[in-house]
Structure 1
Amino acid sequence: MKIKNIQLKNHEILKNLNIDFLDKDGKAQELIVIAGSNGSGKTNLLEAIYNYFLNKNNEVVSKTEIEFLNEEADLKKLSKVIYMPTEINFSEIKNASDKYKYEYKFLNKVDSSIVKDIPSYLATKVKLMQKNNEDMTYKQIKDKVSEETNEIFEELELDIKMIGFTPDEKDLPLFSNSFGEVFDINGLSSGEKQLFMRALTLKMIEAENAIILIDEPEISLHPKWQQKIIKIYQNIGDNNQVIIATHSPHIIGSVKNENVRVMRKSSSGIEIKKLNELTYGQSMDNILENVMELEDILTPDISQELKKLHKMIMKAEYKTKEFEILYKTLREVLGPHNEELMLLELQLKATKARESKLC
């Protein structure tokens, strides 16, 4: 199941909005990344999609219309919708059970009540593998489950690896890092929890033929992980459509231009457009300026001081004590190889050269 087009009518935030998720050949895209500033409506759009299905399930009249790719007749598995909001509470997990059983649900909103079942899902996986592989030892089976879990994140070259389960009745997933430290799933950092819990939840609820809505997957993740996180979600399950809302220039720069939609506020309301600017493989500065509409890449105070120095050079005030002190201070803060300072020095040299010719 994939969305081709969404039409919102009199939405309380987004008003009237028409959005297509089509590629240049008119086919529904498997990946859509929605970018935009705070308050542009990215989360509202994901919620509008989820609420459309919620209303349909409850036979409530919806102000949202969605056109789908007509391929349901060829599907072997039931379709589903999965929504991962920004805020997911990863509370401490006490113990695991080997009696976890997946039950199909069309609508799945990922929250703490689902996430807490991950250890039980892994413990049950061990038990089922034991039943079906009598020739394997218990250790070999635990190693196999750990290996399969780690393979999900292979793209990220993580410092942490799952190595088995705690040797007590809790049976919690056990991890280690390059320092040789060993800890259970509760000992993961906030970024590691976001990474493992979200991805393993998709595996646990069998994300197949699903529309997967993910709000801000970059939360607590290092930029290195942000650059590759999309591939993790795309590689989980088959025939999925992944729709992501993000503020991360690292995520935007990791996907092709045709997969990006930009939401912006205008005088007439909120608009959503396909991307004209090049982003794929571009620098973060380029994306921040052209897509995220960040007026200044530098810290505002530093930017203002650099502009002041540029103006002083233009007015031939570079011989003053004020210029000397400000320039020296910025050089100490930014370092001699800073690109903006080097441009300033070129301007200064060019100005001095012109003045020497006039003399």
Structure 2
Amino acid sequence: MQKYADYIEQVEIESLWSGRRHVEWNLDRKVNVLSGINGVGKSTILNKLVKSVGITGDIYNHLLKGVHIKVNPADATHIRFDVIRSFDRPLLNADMLSEVGANLVTELDWQLFKLQRKFLDYQVNIGNRIIAALQSGEPDAAVKAQQLSEPKKKFQDLIDDLFSDTGKKIIRTENEIRFTQIGETLHPYQLSSGEKQMLVILLTVLIEDNLPYVLFMDEPEVSLHIEWQKRLIDLILDLNPNVQIILTTHSPAVIMNGWMDNVTEVSDITDQNLR
């Protein structure tokens, strides 16, 4: 029987880079920021941690050799997680392009395409739960139904606020995400790289449906305006207070809104004397 962990307590990596380093990182329940100069191993540590939980989140059967993680509760067998990488590179897979449409030209476009499908499933799930709440006959049925719809509304409000300088707003009468700007309808693929990146992050957080899970992010600040960088962590936690954030960054702005105590330098969690 699958039992899901709420968060990761500790990660230990043996023999990083052919035995020259040993990593032991105790993690905060909410926010963890891994920092350091280029080439020090931030992304390497994050990638090994991601691989250790397996594609399906099976932490019991898919542990990567030399990587050990402790979770809470300790007897959990799986963990929910998402991975967000920031680089908006060209989408080179020709078969993929022909399958989903030539208007998808970058990796962020492809992520948005997949998220749109998950967003539709999320809305069906929420809709069914709202109907069940209304049909329950309980005195507070209407209140419960409204509470179920609040996360989606909060997501839409956040995106409208972030995109307000350019006059873009989410069209709330459509099932898929579309925007209106000065009377014109825009697809998500027509947004700027920074707008796509923020949409990917917040949509990923939304469709986890307030469940406890881990959000891995590798330099999420790339393409984001500095004011968005400052708000990023707070926006994520506002949308899902049950998330655990584990990210790498080069940007001081990401931690400026009260997250400096959650920064860990790679040098502070590595033992370079092991051979």
TM-score normalised by L of structure 2: 0.67
Tell me the equivalent position of 2:169: 161
Tell me the equivalent position of 2:143: none
* Residue 173 (structure 1) aligned with residue 211 (structure 2): no
Of structures 1 and 2, the one scoring higher in RCO (CA 8 A, sep 6+) is 2
Tell me the equivalent position of 1:9: 14
Q: Which runs of 5+ in 2 are unaligned?
A: 1-5, 92-96, 135-149
Do 1:90 and 1:112's aligned partners in 2 also have CA atoms closer than 8 Å?
no
Q: How does 1:46-125 map to 2 (within 5 A)?
A: 46-54=46-54, 56=59, 58-59=61-62, 62-70=65-73, 79-87=79-87, 94=101, 115-123=112-120, 125=123
Tell me the equivalent position of 1:279: none
Amino acid at match of 1:3: I
| Correspondence for 1:253 among 251, 256, 259 | 256
Q: Which digits, 9 at most, give the CA deviation of each residue in 1:129-161, with x for residues without a partner?
A: 49949xxxxxxxxxx998454224467464322
Q: How does 1:338-349 map to 2 (within 5 A)?
A: none
Flag the structure with larger Rg.
1
Tell me the equivalent position of 2:227: 224
Q: What is the root-mean-square deviation of aligned Cα atoms in Å?
A: 3.9
Do 1:172 and 1:184's aligned partners in 2 also have CA atoms closer than 8 Å?
no
Tell me the CA shift for residue 175 of structure 1.
Answer: 0.9
Give the distance between the partners of 1:194 and 1:217, measured in 2 at CA: 8
SS of the residue aligned with 1:66? strand
Give the distance between the partners of 2:243 and 2:125, measured in 1 at CA: 28
* Residue 242 (structure 1) aligned with residue 245 (structure 2): yes
| Correspondence for 1:150 among 148, 152, 156 | 156
Do 2:154 and 2:239's aligned partners in 1 also have CA atoms closer than 8 Å?
no
Give the distance between the partners of 2:69 and 2:126, measured in 1 at CA: 40
Q: How does 1:284-299 map to 2 (within 5 A)?
A: none
Give the distance between the partners of 2:9 and 2:178, measured in 1 at CA: 42
In structure 2, do the counterparts of structure 1 residues 269 and 249 end up closer, same or farther at CA, with 3 Å as the change threshold? same
Give the distance between the partners of 1:116 and 1:145, measured in 2 at CA: 21
SS of the residue aligned with 1:120? helix
**Percent of pairs identical after alignment?**
21
In structure 2, do the counterparts of structure 1 residues 90 and 240 end up closer, same or farther at CA, with 3 Å as the change threshold? farther
SS of the residue aligned with 1:234? helix
Give the distance between the partners of 2:246 and 2:126, measured in 1 at CA: 33
Amino acid at match of 1:193: K
Tell me the CA shift for residue 80 of structure 1.
Answer: 1.1
SS of the residue aligned with 2:53? helix
Do 1:79 and 1:208's aligned partners in 2 also have CA atoms closer than 8 Å?
no
- Figure out how many residues of one structure are paired with residues of the other and give that number: 230
Amino acid at match of 2:117: S
Q: Which runs of 5+ in 1 are unaligned?
A: 22-27, 96-109, 134-143, 271-359
Tell me the equivalent position of 1:210: 213
Do 2:152 and 2:206's aligned partners in 1 also have CA atoms closer than 8 Å?
no
Give the distance between the partners of 2:233 and 2:22, measured in 1 at CA: 29
| Correspondence for 1:19 among 20, 25, 34 | 25
Tell me the equivalent position of 1:105: none
Amino acid at match of 1:226: Q
